[in-house]
Amino acid sequence: MKQEKIVLGIGYTNSCNMNCDFCYSKDNRMFSYKQPIDVWKKFFDKNGKYIQSINYGTGENVLEDEWFVLIEYIAEKFPDIVQAVTTNGSISKILNEDKKKKKIFLKTISEVDVSLDYSSKDKHNKIRGNNFAYEWALDTMSFCNENGLRLTIVTIGLDQTLELDNIEGIFNIAKKYNAYNRINIYRKSIDREDNCELSYNALMNFLQWASKNDSIVELSDPLFNAIYGNENNIEDKSGVSSFRVVSDGRIYPSTYLLHDDFLIGNIKDENFTFNKKFEFSSKVIIPDDCKECIYVDKCKGGAIDRRILWYKTFNHQDPYCPFLHHNESEYKIFINSKRGDFKSVHAGYLPTLFFKYGS
């Protein structure tokens, strides 16, 4: 049987020039250690043939000089690996000040995911803890347009950010820059409390609004695709063919499950390879309450990380399951069939939602 190629999320650095309340990796910032660049190169020498795509996130990777060495090395040695990056908007400022870095970036990175949580400058700067966050985000969108890079705008899905006035403003910004919108449903932190929340009603009201505006492109999330989608099954591949690597080399099954209980390995381990099945995937079960559901074969209980983060167990369905709140027929939601040339590294990387306003 042919080995399924994997998608990787890599946080090459924990360094960041912002301070977001909802940051899932904030606790990792106390660990400044990074594996040496030669360790990363050896890891890819051994595992590059198993990798389909990489998205760089967690910290602000362009702040690290050696990150540019790594992406160039991967592009030269494994040209079939698609490389993308999620940024708070610092990209344009840094690359426009360094021609060498700009050249490396443009020949290696094919997609840029820019964070924008509020259409209001003041609100976005406040939630990001940086007075230049909004300005940098728009500058980076312009940079992507000028250089022909595929562009998505990612918004953290919270009650406040999904208020219709705000989200319509963000969608209009995306339309201006010919970008797809991506909504990253808020996840709880596994180890700490915060003041952030995304209620079921806020999420569903937003999805219904997006549906009425013919904006939904892909529900790349097992729960929402199973119930409202018109695509083939979208499975949660966490710990199967989707993994997260943090700066000190630790490997986890998900962007949000950065905890020792879910540790899979480390890139410094000479015998580590992705060409095998990992124990984590065998622990994931379909919850008992889901087994009689008509959507169980597609949904399989919903997003794995949400189940663990909310309930600390696999044997509970997704917290946004409509049957925990209302009958699914209360919300009429349909995916836009005019997908065009939609393509994104994030569609296979983690459960997420895609939109194109006015498409």
Q: What is the DSSP string of 277-299?
A: --HHHHH----GGGTT-TTHHHH
- The secondary structure of 113-151, three-state, reads EEECCCCCHHHHHHHHCCCCHHHHHHHHHHHHHHHCCEE
Are 286 and 245 contacting, i.e. CB atoms less than 8 angstroms apart? no
| Token output for 198 | 């995304």
> Is 286 contained in some domain?
no
> Is 309 contained in some domain?
no
> Is 244 contained in some domain?
yes
Residue 342 CB: number of other CB atoms within 10 A? 15
> Is 291 contained in some domain?
no
> Is 45 contained in some domain?
yes
pLDDT value of residue 126: 82
pLDDT value of residue 29: 47
Helix (H, G, I), strand (E, B) or coil at 31: coil
The percent of residues above 70 in pLDDT, for the chain, comes to 88
> Is 318 contained in some domain?
no
> Is 297 contained in some domain?
no
Tracing tokens 């009689």 back to the chain, one arrives at 292
Report the CATH number that the domain containing residue 166 is assigned in CATH: 3.20.20.70
pLDDT over threshold 70, residue 359: no
| Total number of domains constituting the chain | 1
Kindly give the residue spans of alpha helices, DSSP state H, lying in the chain. 37-47, 65-77, 91-96, 99-108, 121-128, 133-147, 164-176, 200-212, 222-228, 279-283, 296-299, 304-311
Segments forming the whole domain that contains residue 209: 6-279+327-355
The model's pTM: 0.91
Strand order in the sheet with 180-185: 216-220, 352-355, 180-185, 150-157, 109-115, 82-87, 51-56, 6-10, 242-245, 250-252, 265-266
pLDDT over threshold 70, residue 17: no
pLDDT over threshold 90, residue 234: no
**Per-residue pLDDT tens over the stretch 136-175:** 899 999 999 999 999 999 999 999 999 999 999 999 999 9
Kindly indicate the confidence band of residue 63, based on its pLDDT and cuts at 50, 70 and 90. Answer: confident
Are 57 and 85 contacting, i.e. CB atoms less than 8 angstroms apart? yes
pLDDT value of residue 194: 61
**Per-residue pLDDT tens over the stretch 111-143:** 999 999 899 988 877 877 767 788 889 999 999
Kindly indicate the confidence band of residue 347, based on its pLDDT and cuts at 50, 70 and 90. Answer: confident
Mind giving me the DSSP string for 220-241? ESHHHHHHH--SS-----BTTT
What does the pLDDT average to over 240-245? Answer: 93
The residues that bridge with 111 in the sheet, in sequence order, are 84, 150
Give just the sign of the alpha carbon dihedral 339, 342, 348, 349: negative
What does the pLDDT average to over 310-316? Answer: 92
> Is 261 contained in some domain?
yes
Helix (H, G, I), strand (E, B) or coil at 348: helix
Q: Which residues contact 116 (CB under 8 A, 6 or more apart)?
A: 89, 124, 134, 137, 153, 154, 155, 170, 173
- 38-44, long-range: CB within 8 Å, 24+ apart, which pairs? 39/249, 39/267, 39/268, 40/12, 40/70, 40/267, 41/70, 41/73, 42/270, 43/249, 43/267, 43/268, 43/272, 44/73, 44/74, 44/77, 44/78
